[in-house]
Amino acid sequence: MNGEEHILSILVRNKPGVLSRLAGIFGRLGYNIETLCVAPTLDLAVSRITLMSRADSQFTDKVRKQLDRLVDIVEVEELPAARALQREVLLMGIDCSGGRRADVLKGIDLFGCRVIFMRDDYAVLQTVGAPEETETALQYFQSIGIRDMARTGIIALPKEKK
């Protein structure tokens, strides 16, 4: 779906089925969840769900009204880019064969990648940064040869807590 990017931080009680019910609301409203990350908070009874969806300007109000009906939702907060710090982790399996090693090493230096594993013909690299930074690294390494990759999707926190 085209539209503006909306990042939601949703605190939920750690109970079976919460994520399924939350995802069901998005599906019923016709919204796609583009990225999703779920992990416990400092309170192990509560998890933070960070998700990104592209939608119209009424998205947050529509979704919030539906989510507020779910018993296990603790808090829903939209995190506009100007108010939030966003990060994403990207792991890439890179082809280092056929004279590509010098370009791989250049990319490691250029993007501050961490080498997780390396042998003569293959490397697994990690890069962490704002989504646009990880996307730039991904484009660079695609020109070299990515065999496999995994991304966390966006995680975010507000710059200042209310």
Look up the CATH number of the domain holding residue 108: 3.30.70.1150
Question: Residue 74 and residue 22: Cα distance in Å, rounded?
Answer: 12
CB 126 within 8 Å of CB 134: no
The answer on 25 and 89 residing in a single domain is: no
What pLDDT is stored for residue 108 in this prediction? 97
The answer on 136 and 107 residing in a single domain is: yes
Q: What is the pTM of this model?
A: 0.86
- Last residue within a domain, chosen from 78, 104, 132: 78
Which whole-number Å values give the CA distances from 13 to 10, 47, 69, 73, 93, in the listed order? Answer: 10, 6, 14, 6, 35
Can you give the pLDDT of all 162 residues of the chain as single tens digits?
A: 578 889 999 999 999 999 999 999 999 999 999 999 999 999 999 999 999 998 888 888 889 889 988 889 999 999 988 889 999 999 999 999 989 999 999 999 999 999 999 999 999 999 999 999 999 999 999 999 999 999 999 999 999 876
- Last residue within a domain, chosen from 78, 109, 129: 78
- Residue 129 host element (H or E): strand 122-129
The answer on 89 and 56 residing in a single domain is: no
Domain that holds residue 125: 85-158
What pLDDT is stored for residue 42 in this prediction? 96
What pLDDT is stored for residue 92 in this prediction? 98
CB 125 within 8 Å of CB 92: yes
Those residues whose C-beta lies under 8 Å from the C-beta of residue 34, and which sit 6 or more positions away, are 51, 52, 53, 54, 153
Count structural domains, the chain: 2
